[in-house]
Structure 1
Amino acid sequence: MAAVMTAAAVLYLLHSLLRFRNFEAKGYDLGIFDQAVRQYALFKAPIVPIKGEDFHLLGDHFHPIIAAFAPLYWIWDDPRVLNIGMIALLVSTALPVYLVVRRWFSHLPALLAAVALLLFWPFQALVNWDFHEIAFGVPLIAWVIWAIERQRMWLAVGLGAVLLLVREDMGVTLIALALVLAFKRAWLPALVTAALGVFGYWFAVELVIPHFSAAGEFGYWEFTALGPSAGAAMLFLLTQPWNAVVILFDDPAKVGLWALHFLPLLLLPFASPYVILGAPILLSRLFNDRANVWSVIYQYDAILAPIFLLAGFDVARRMIARWPRLRPLSVGLPVTVITVGLVGTLAFPGVFPLQRTVTGDNWTMGERALAHQQVTDAVPDGVCVEAADTAVPHLVDRTSVGLNGTTDEDALTWIIIDDTVEELGGSNPLSPEEAFARAERLGFEPVIEDAQGLWLLHRDAPASSAATQDCAEYLRR
């Protein structure tokens, strides 16, 4: 088991570090979380220039748990510490999965389950995303299932409560956990968990986020297919459930998401109560207005992987108990997932991105990465700079950096523009043409021109300017 976890950690870390070296890591999300956790490490509020001027990240999402990684910056002041920390979280998830499956079966199926989890596409997608707060929830949810199977229901409640610190929508996941506990006839723990879930969601969405948000409200109601508000959505789900089901399958990307989650698991999770734990997260994506969250290439699925995998094994053990001749299923289930993972890693890099590291495709630093290096090296320390999304992670440790169009124009002295992309990132992204026009209006002059599509521009600013002094102060205690 130690060898499996070590091998996964080495592969994940190699892929992550190569992404960073090759300038494939991005401001969204590695740069954002670096700025937030770095400010926590400096005992400051999580102000994130990448998101906007004086943008407080707790006004965006409720994820105070990321402050747990602040001490890592006291050891190594580099955004890659977040990669390392996240990989540790993902790899550690194999342990509760192993323990649960071993309790149900034996060592071999449990070991294969751990391999299947670590090779499965949701984990690969999150490693390829560099960092996201959902990583904290991945081992937590697996330990919740372990606690339930050990009949430690109050421990499951406690672990579930910690999920509330991961993200505001974990309150809904706690309500799902309450249903699972009720199914297990743990009535009082179920009641307490449901109450915690309702309170946690209300506290995050109605109090904390509006308090820190410049708009004064939670800005992520994106379920207009269900209704203009949460109340309208609940009414729609209760009165038109058939139409709600249609929405879950109304796009090929949604069908693909269903297929990639459940076909490798032989559709078994649908017969387990544990599938309820993953329902709020999966359904919230499928009901979402944003088409990108239906895709399998983002970070959202990692927390679902241990839930659905253990749900599959839960059904397998009950089938085997009833029909002993199905005993090979205990090995066949993880072998199927492993086979999908291996074939996918070798043949489908769009869904299984570790393929590039396994085959060596990303081992060499290309010309564009070298151009990135040239441009970022030319930016001095302690300045306010706007940068291309792929340049941001290489500037967060020594500048106050935002994306194009997000920084106080009085403070801005350096700009990096990437003319090879359609949009330059952020909530209201500029096009390269708009960014160049803005730079010209502000009096910027080229320093490096068209280095593989990258432009570095500069203008002088008064040394006594209060705005420029704020840039230098951003990374100081």
Structure 2
Amino acid sequence: MRGPDRLAVGRVVATWWLPTVIACAVGALYVFYSVAQWRALVAPSWDLGIFAEAVQAYSRFEAPIVPIKGPGYNLLGDHFHPILALLGPVYRLFPSALTLLVVQDVLIAASVLPVARLAQRLLGRGGALLVGFAYGLGWGLQGAVGAQFHEVCVAVPLLALGGVAFVERRWGACMAWLAPLVLVKEDLGLTVFMAGLAITWRARGEGRPAVLRGLAYALFGIVAFVVTVKLLLPAMNPAGTWAYSLDGSATGAGTPMGGSTAAREVPSLWDILTTPSVKLATLLVLLAGAGFVGASSPWFALVLPTLAWRFAGSVDTYYVWDSWHYNAVLVPIAACSLLDVINRWLAPERAAVGDDVDSEDDAPASPTRGRRAGAWAVACVPALSLAITASALPLWQLPTLTEDPRMAAAQGALDAVPEGASVETDTTLLARLVPWREVYWVGTTGTMDTPPEYVVVDVRSYAWGGQQVDAESWASAAHPGHSYETVYAKQGFRVARRTS
């Protein structure tokens, strides 16, 4: 290898080794947590099973029909996330819902790379460690991992890469990274719209063509949103509607368990922001993730669409900050907004050209001590916020996630349902039953002429509300005219097979 080539390779290694180490550490921690969840039989919702069925269908080059939502239910009529088809080949190689958990962990870890790399350019290696770990272990990302797989995990690295490109004024790269968001979830078209406006504002001094490109990109985002919610989702939803509109129908309309609720008035702006009070806590943690000063960046405006549909919605879990996946997309936006402000503080002339600097030693004209001290002070805010709130976040529970003593009994219940069979079950083993079986959730099979061949019940599942349930008697009562017999019963797991 020639001297200049070795020099180039050495520079790349010097630039990327620390961000890579940080990203790998975050990813390893999340994978460890997900595996611990899996071994502890933790099932916070039915969503992992739903996405496992969808990706399994993609792995077979089929439409994402998800029986868990109801017979023949096309999941693209629930939320619009065709980008999940890219996970089909991975699932085909490793057919397990655990695969989706690991994929989510890897995607989140990958988003740490550009953020830590930009922090290193601005604040040196210490900044990469501080910002990289505070971001990677951020409240919304922990919540997403704790809630298990959801489609928004694909948006996290795209938003991180797009945000870094925005800070570095690479408008084409920023637009390219964010464009696929319209294929991740329907509301993210509005986030793309806001990104277009942010680019337009920041590029306003670069001439009319730059402004027009930003406005055209914003138009693309809003058109994608309207087309998705007005045409694509209703066309594939069994009820012919967008199931999550703000009129109160956010109940999974179009499923046997759902339907629309009565239309309601959109609350006032004050109520949207303050009622219930947990919304204020969510806003406070979000602002802390941006070091508070990040709210002055035009990039921070990208949080508005997500906050709007959540806070104006009618579902309590939309409002929270310490759980579920709803905050995942906010974390990279907040982190990049903070770095945008730091970038402009440290070197306004660099912010205008996006020069690349790898460490404190490589920095151009030194900023004043006050600016650098201020930059470090605000960079510490997300880490301080994380330290204060750590006990309320999922990773704090990691030491308690030990293997469930019923694991062998659970495996016995899975083995009692043969491959190719149709099976109805509650949440505990829902996702685990998906590979090679047709899986339904209890309560979504009422319209079937012929009910599932098997019913699997975990008497300890929260799906039963503490009531004592027997698979054989429950199945016979739920499916009049058909009888079932128990073929497996151990440590609370019951499997019944249809006999007529």
Q: Under TM normalisation by the shorter chain, which class is it?
A: 0.7 to 0.9
Deviation string, structure 1 residues 16-55 (Cα, Å, up to 9, x no partner):
1121222214662211111111111101111111111000
Amino acid at match of 2:428: T
Q: 2:106 aligns with which of 84, 88, 94?
A: 88
Give the structure 1 partner of residue 324 of structure 2.
Answer: 298
Partner Cα separation in structure 2 for residue 431 and residue 54 of structure 1: 30
* Structure 2 CA distance for partners of 1:440 and 1:373, relative to 1, 3 Å: farther
Partner Cα separation in structure 1 for residue 436 and residue 425 of structure 2: 13
TM-score (normalised: structure 2): 0.80
Q: CA deviation at 1:355?
A: 2.0
The within-5 A match list for 1:380-395 is: 380-395=418-433
Give the structure 1 partner of residue 394 of structure 2.
Answer: 353
Deviation string, structure 1 residues 176-196 (Cα, Å, up to 9, x no partner):
112201211241222211221
Secondary structure of the structure 1 residue equivalent to 2:96: coil
Comparing 171-180 with 411-420, greater Cα deviation is found at: 411-420
* Structure 2 CA distance for partners of 1:328 and 1:383, relative to 1, 3 Å: same
Give the structure 2 partner of residue 222 of structure 1.
Answer: 246
Given that 1:58 and 1:209 are in contact with CA atoms closer than 8 Å, whether structure 2 keeps it comes out as yes
Give the structure 2 partner of residue 468 of structure 1.
Answer: none
Amino acid at match of 1:213: N
Q: CA deviation at 1:153?
A: 1.4
Partner Cα separation in structure 2 for residue 43 and residue 49 of structure 1: 17
Partner Cα separation in structure 1 for residue 198 and residue 420 of structure 2: 51
Aligned pair count reads: 438
The within-5 A match list for 1:181-260 is: 181-184=199-202, 185=204, 186-224=210-248, 243-260=268-285
Q: CA deviation at 1:124?
A: 1.0
Secondary structure of the structure 1 residue equivalent to 2:280: helix
Partner Cα separation in structure 2 for residue 154 and residue 431 of structure 1: 59
Q: CA deviation at 1:409?
A: 5.2
**2:452 matched to 1:412?**
yes
Give the structure 2 partner of residue 174 of structure 1.
Answer: 192
Give the structure 2 partner of residue 126 of structure 1.
Answer: 144
Partner Cα separation in structure 1 for residue 187 and residue 224 of structure 2: 9
Given that 1:388 and 1:403 are in contact with CA atoms closer than 8 Å, whether structure 2 keeps it comes out as yes
Given that 1:445 and 1:459 are in contact with CA atoms closer than 8 Å, whether structure 2 keeps it comes out as yes
Q: CA deviation at 1:260?
A: 2.2
Partner Cα separation in structure 1 for residue 378 and residue 313 of structure 2: 31
Give the structure 1 partner of residue 478 of structure 2.
Answer: 438
Q: CA deviation at 1:202?
A: 2.1
The within-5 A match list for 1:445-456 is: 445-449=485-489, 451-452=491-492, 454-456=493-495
Comparing 368-377 with 399-408, greater Cα deviation is found at: 368-377
Partner Cα separation in structure 2 for residue 91 and residue 325 of structure 1: 33
Give the structure 2 partner of residue 150 of structure 1.
Answer: 168
Q: CA deviation at 1:353?
A: 0.9
Q: CA deviation at 1:335?
A: 3.5
Given that 2:413 and 2:495 are in contact with CA atoms closer than 8 Å, whether structure 1 keeps it comes out as yes
Partner Cα separation in structure 2 for residue 6 and residue 22 of structure 1: 24
Given that 2:189 and 2:224 are in contact with CA atoms closer than 8 Å, whether structure 1 keeps it comes out as yes
Q: 1:57 aligns with which of 67, 75, 85?
A: 75
Secondary structure of the structure 1 residue equivalent to 2:274: coil
Q: CA RMSD in A?
A: 2.9
Secondary structure of the structure 1 residue equivalent to 2:394: coil
Comparing 437-446 with 115-124, greater Cα deviation is found at: 437-446
The within-5 A match list for 1:263-282 is: 263=288, 265-282=290-307
Amino acid at match of 1:379: V
**2:376 matched to 1:331?**
yes
Ranges in structure 1 where 5+ consecutive residues have no aligned partner: 462-477
Partner Cα separation in structure 1 for residue 343 and residue 271 of structure 2: 32
Secondary structure of the structure 2 residue equivalent to 1:327: helix
Ranges in structure 2 where 5+ consecutive residues have no aligned partner: 1-17, 205-209, 250-259, 348-366
Partner Cα separation in structure 2 for residue 245 and residue 182 of structure 1: 29
* Structure 2 CA distance for partners of 1:382 and 1:343, relative to 1, 3 Å: same
TM-score (normalised: structure 1): 0.84
Deviation string, structure 1 residues 321-342 (Cα, Å, up to 9, x no partner):
6974242343333434334434
Partner Cα separation in structure 2 for residue 379 and residue 166 of structure 1: 34
Q: 1:402 aligns with which of 440, 443, 458?
A: 440
